[in-house]
């Protein structure tokens, strides 16, 4: 585990890349798909019942292109309960995905996602509310 905190029933599929396990917390019954990349230079918190689909990327670092020194910029990522990050979608530094939000496949979240909403595109924009039925 190398310092990662992983809840019960969590599934981590093959070929997942985690930069610093000690900066990772995964909740109960969450699912991390094949080829997910968690580039966690700072804390990444994944809540309960979260799905990270195949090839998704969580990127906590970027660079300040306005400075000649190209300084590193970092920001924590939080995926709250029931969040679904689609295949090959990207979550950028400092983003919080609200409970039961969805980031559609191939989309890029550069700002926070509201609870019970579906976002799509690059940059991701709100498309509609998410209604969950039993």
**Residue 2 maps to a domain:** no
User: What is the per-residue DSSP string for 14-77?
Assistant: TT-EES-GGGEEE-TT-EE-TT-EEE-SS-EEE-TT-EE-TT-EEE-EEE-TTSTT--EEE--E
The pLDDT-based confidence of 88 (bands split at 50, 70, 90) is very high
**Residue 65 maps to a domain:** no
How confident is the model at residue 68, as a pLDDT? 96
CATH number of the domain enclosing 86: 2.160.10.10
Q: How many folded domains does the chain comprise?
A: 1
Average pLDDT over residues 67-88: 97
């Amino acid at each position: 585990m190398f310092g990662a905190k992983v809840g019960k029933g969590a599934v981590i599929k093959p070929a997942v890349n985690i930069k610093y396990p000690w900066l990772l917390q995964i909740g109960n019954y969450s699912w991390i798909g094949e080829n997910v990349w968690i580039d966690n230079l700072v804390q990444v918190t994944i809540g309960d019942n979260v799905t990270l689909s195949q090839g998704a990327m969580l990127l906590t670092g970027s660079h300040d292109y306005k400075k000649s020194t190209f300084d590193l910029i970092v920001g924590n990522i939080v995926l709250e309960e029931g969040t679904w990050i689609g295949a090959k979608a990207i979550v950028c530094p400092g983003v919080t995905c609200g409970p039961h939000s969805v980031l559609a496949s191939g989309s890029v979240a550069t700002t926070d996602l509201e609870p019970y909403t579906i976002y799509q595109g690059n940059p991701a924009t709100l498309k509609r509310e998410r209604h969950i039925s039993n």
